[in-house]
Structure 1
Amino acid sequence: MRFLRHFSLAILLSWAFMPMAGASSSKHTELMESVHQFLYQEAHALGNEVVINLREPSPHLPTCTNPEPFLTNQNKAPLGRVSVGVRCGTDSRQVRYLQADIDVIGSYMVAAVDIERGAQITPDMLEEADGNLGDLSSRAITDSDDIVGKIARRPIASGTTLQSHFVEAPHLVERGQRVRVIAQGAAFQVSREGEALEDGAMGEDVRVRFGSREVLTARVIERGTLMVDF
């Protein structure tokens, strides 16, 4: 069955790249091939099998020379319905937009067991599943490194697709804890002890109080230690 699925996707991929017949197809050949290649490179990092259905621009539009494709939404993975911008011409002043549907077959993480709220995620709690990543939530986790060591914010049933908002980084600083704050510059480094006024995970900013009035914000760099950069 896996062989048949791969074979079918290979056929779909070859169809997706076949130019349409007619004058308009040859007119936009360079544009279509450039956008196809760009989208494939962007999406291939997500999975091993990529199928792209790119809508051809109107035949009434002028030819796009020296096409330079770009994603209109850099913060969104190239999955599902995608808008692609293309700069045309030697000066790249002319910009047009194309629509594409992208399916990527890849792996994602699901819970191998029931996970209780507050549990720290370990590798044996996870397993991989294969499917069309475009059918998943944009918050679905595809890499175990993005979840191992984090804390479950809610109960997670076995078989559930893991999503980023289900977990949070463990706190390395607790509210009310005595912490060390390092102030570091180009030619100096000093440290002081203060009281954390809020919880904080790795890389988060936390307010720290020194004495009765002085409060500053520092970045968590390890358990019980924060840093202020100058």
Structure 2
Amino acid sequence: MVAVLTMVAVLTMPLAIAPVAADDTLIDEVHAFLYEQASGLGDEVVIEVRPPSARLPDCEHPEPFLPRAGQPLVGRISVGVRCGSDGRQVRYLQAEIGIIGGYPVAARDIAAGSVIDAGMLETRHGDLARLPRQAVVDSQRIIGQVAQRPLAAGSTLEEHQLAARALVERGQTVTVEARGSSFQVTREGEALEPGGQGERVRVRFANRQLVTATVVGEARLAVDF
């Protein structure tokens, strides 16, 4: 993997050795933190950390963190930094992350309702930050999905354009497997709603008992105890 690190720092006040060094240390800490978080997301990572817009007291013992857990590490983001030995002082810096990597596109026109297979996709490389917000960059998440609308050749595929293929239909007779640490029991029931792989579906048994089970295959569901 090739990693390219870019850091831009513009100083607009008279030179002062100690404050500049403190700013550089803070930016280096944030830079290293973001690179560690994003290094596995693509073939190349480009990171720009912007220095604080105002002169602030030195940040001792900086500990960077992401303000929003699970936020995408691509494009413009905000990074929090706890300062001081007790971490009670918090400041925020802006950063720009570019991830250069491969992503799937439609290899040909795909009709609405088609179940997507590997032959319908091809890989392109570019800055993932420039893709639509809902673009899917892992082809394995696309294969087996159903196109909800026509997809043009060369287009990126987005979450809202895809749906899980129904493995269970409403009113269908299904097999429900109940599993525990030392037992496994199967029963037949009626699916009360459709569902795709991994989705939760309500099932009614002959005795009118209702359970919610996870779709694990064609007309097959599972309940764990």
Q: Where does residue 105 of structure 2 map in the other structure?
A: 110
Contact 1:112–1:127 (CA<8 Å) still a contact in 2?
A: yes
1:164-217 deviations in Å (ceiling 9; x for gaps)? 222122222111111111222333332211000111112111010112632221
Provide the aligned C-alpha RMSD in A. Answer: 2.3
Shift of 1:81: 1.2
Shift of 1:121: 1.2
Alignment of 1:1-230 (within 5 A): 13-14=5-6, 16=7, 22-23=15-16, 24-58=19-53, 60-211=55-206, 213-230=208-225
2:99 match: secondary structure: strand
Q: Which structure 1 segments of 5+ residues have no match?
A: 1-5
- Return the letter of the residue paired with 1:225: R
Q: Distance in 2 between matches of 1:170 and 1:148?
A: 10
Q: Distance in 1 between matches of 2:166 and 2:56?
A: 56
- Return the letter of the residue paired with 2:184: Q
Q: Structure 2 length normalisation: TM-score? A: 0.87
Q: Which structure 2 segments of 5+ residues have no match?
A: none
Deviates more, 1:85-94 or 1:104-113: 85-94
Shift of 1:99: 0.9
1:66 match: secondary structure: coil
1:211 match: secondary structure: coil
Q: Where does residue 3 of structure 1 map in the other structure?
A: none
> Which structure features the higher share of helix residues?
1
Q: Distance in 2 between matches of 1:164 and 1:211?
A: 37
Contact 2:8–2:50 (CA<8 Å) still a contact in 1?
A: no
- Return the letter of the residue paired with 2:217: E
Contact 1:19–1:29 (CA<8 Å) still a contact in 2?
A: no
Task: Call closer, same or farther: CA 1:185–1:212 in 2, change over 3 Å.
Answer: closer
